[in-house]
């Protein structure tokens, strides 16, 4: 018997996130928000305690511009904090890294090493590397950092999933790689999956899936296979979203896209097509339209759909294509979108317009690119545009947002007959919310999270 106080919702789901990079972050030292060099070094020292002498220390998020003394740090300080271990700490922007002497030695970088093409090894007045490497020189070090062991990966994933449960999520749909799928299977066997996971495989693994006869829906209520994820274009942030005005980068050309959809349909595998720019979205719809309504199991999705030409809004419903969107992106991207897409920004992140045009919505976060917090996503979808005075007509109502995070997400992965509603015969997955906070998360009738009060 579980006593629940607050509003009881069907269990929240996230239709698009990436568990692997979330887990990887946990395996390293979190330096985001470190207030000074000393703060940074203290965090490294804590991580180093008890580690074997030769173990690598990974980390990310330091940002010397936020420190009282914004000078770049030195390997000597890191050598002491890491106890002589190899250490590789990526700066917040990802364009440089701070490494220890042992890491430099393992990578074969010394006084005589020339800068790699497209990269810089910072040096002191005597010509010795300082421990700061930039751009392509970061990759030289990254190559020698060992991949996490299976045990590390399992630990990182289990802790990530526990945190997702704490945020109120009962089920997530992840875009990852085979290695993470193996880890998820180990967690499933060991009873260490607190919430349900649907795994989408990368396009690169389609040939293997075809050979195996793998189909959408294989697995069980805790861990199952769904679609094949393929990229049609890049992103807004890197200016590679493929737009109708001719800008951006097509990552997958049309002939190959059509062929990919045909192969997936023949193999009983769904597709999840990453398309951010309006041209990429249009190409995805062009490829999916001829397959519309052919099979009951067919649930093609367009991931992100951040910029959709108004002419294409009704095509989602007509072609039975799910708009798998992440409302929180709008909050982060607003300024960039206004700058990069001035002519079309009034049609971007158009959840409300797509819904009115009859599209089925599935909401998620794209974590770790954005926060996985579904309440933040709900707020972005329902209230934020009004507050921010940014095309408030494209918002959705609370009921619509809740549907997109529950039954809509379930539909987008073929689970709508048993997940996403509070009805007899459905899995007992609940998210309990009071005063705008998650107070309990229930999966399969068991509380996997309860707040203290």
The footprint of Zn ion (CB under 5 A) covers 366
Q: Least distance (Å) from Zn ion to the CB of residue 303?
A: 7
CB of 122 or CB of 303, closer to Zn ion: 303
DSSP assigned state of 245 = T
CB of 8 or CB of 376, closer to Zn ion: 376
CB of 180 or CB of 366, closer to Zn ion: 366
Identify the helix (H) or strand (E) that includes residue 46: helix 37-48
CB of 202 or CB of 314, closer to Zn ion: 202
Beta-strand ranges (E) seen in 219-304 are 223-231, 270-275, 301-304
CB of 154 or CB of 366, closer to Zn ion: 366
Whats the size of the chain, residue-wise? Answer: 453
Best CA proximity match to 321, nearest among 287, 345, 349, 364? 287
Taking the C-alpha atoms of residue 100 and residue 391, their distance in angstroms, rounded to an integer, is 49
Q: Least distance (Å) from Zn ion to the CB of residue 366?
A: 4
3-state secondary structure of 286: helix
Best CA proximity match to 301, nearest among 329, 328, 320? 320
Residues β-bridged to residue 288: none
Best CA proximity match to 344, nearest among 383, 311, 302, 380? 311
CB of 6 or CB of 368, closer to Zn ion: 368
Q: Least distance (Å) from Zn ion to the CB of residue 82?
A: 33
Q: Least distance (Å) from Zn ion to the CB of residue 325?
A: 11
Angle at 115 between CA 97 and CA 74, to 5 degrees: 35
Give residue number: closest CB to Zn ion: 366
Alpha carbon of 110 to those of 24, 113, 167, 276: distances in Å? 29, 5, 46, 43
């Amino acid at each position: 018997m579980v006593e629940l106080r607050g509003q009881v919702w069907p269990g929240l789901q996230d239709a698009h996130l990436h568990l692997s990079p979330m887990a990887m972050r946990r395996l390293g030292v979190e330096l985001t928000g470190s207030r000074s060099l000393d703060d940074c070094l203290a965090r490294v020292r804590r991580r180093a305690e008890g580690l074997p002498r030769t173990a690598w220390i990974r980390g990310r998020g330091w940002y010397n511009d936020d420190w009282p003394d914004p000078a770049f740090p030195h390997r000597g300080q890191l050598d002491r904090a890491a106890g002589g271990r190899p250490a590789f700490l990526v700066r917040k922007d990802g364009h440089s890294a701070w490494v220890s002497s042992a890491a430099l030695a393992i990578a074969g970088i010394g006084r005589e090493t020339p800068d790699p093409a497209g990269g810089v090894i910072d040096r002191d007045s005597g010509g010795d590397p300082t421990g700061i490497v930039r751009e392509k020189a970061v990759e030289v070090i990254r190559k020698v950092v060992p991949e996490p062991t299976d045990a590390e990966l399992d630990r990182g994933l289990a802790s990530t999933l526990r945190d997702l449960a704490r945020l109120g999520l009962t089920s997530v749909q992840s875009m990852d790689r085979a290695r993470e799928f193996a880890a998820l299977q180990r967690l499933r066997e060991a009873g260490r999956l607190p919430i349900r996971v649907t795994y989408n495989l990368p396009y690169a693994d389609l040939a293997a899936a075809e050979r195996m006869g793998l189909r959408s829906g294989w697995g069980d209520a805790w861990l199952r296979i769904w679609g094949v994820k393929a990229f049609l274009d890049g992103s807004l942030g890197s200016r590679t979203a493929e737009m109708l005005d001719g800008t951006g980068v097509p990552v997958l050309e049309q002939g190959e896209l059509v062929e990919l959809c045909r192969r997936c349909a023949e193999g009983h595998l769904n597709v999840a097509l990453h398309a951010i720019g309006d041209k990429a979205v249009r190409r995805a719809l062009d490829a999916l339209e001829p397959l519309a309504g052919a099979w009951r199991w067919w649930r093609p999705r367009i991931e992100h759909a951040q910029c959709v030409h108004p002419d294409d809004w009704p095509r989602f419903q007509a072609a039975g294509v799910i708009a798998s969107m992440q409302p929180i992106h709008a909050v982060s991207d607003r300024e960039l979108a206004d700058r990069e897409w001035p002519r079309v920004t009034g049609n971007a992140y158009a959840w409300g317009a797509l819904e009115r045009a009859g599209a089925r919505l599935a909401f998620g976060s794209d974590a770790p690119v954005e926060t996985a917090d579904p309440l933040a996503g709900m707020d972005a979808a329902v209230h934020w545009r009004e507050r921010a005075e940014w095309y408030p007509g494209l918002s959705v109502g609370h009921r619509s947002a809740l549907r997109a995070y529950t039954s809509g997400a379930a539909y987008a992965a073929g689970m709508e007959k048993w997940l996403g509603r509070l009805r007899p015969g459905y899995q007992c997955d609940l998210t309990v919310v009071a005063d705008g906070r998650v107070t309990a998360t229930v999966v399969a009738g068991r509380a996997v999270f309860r707040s203290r009060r």
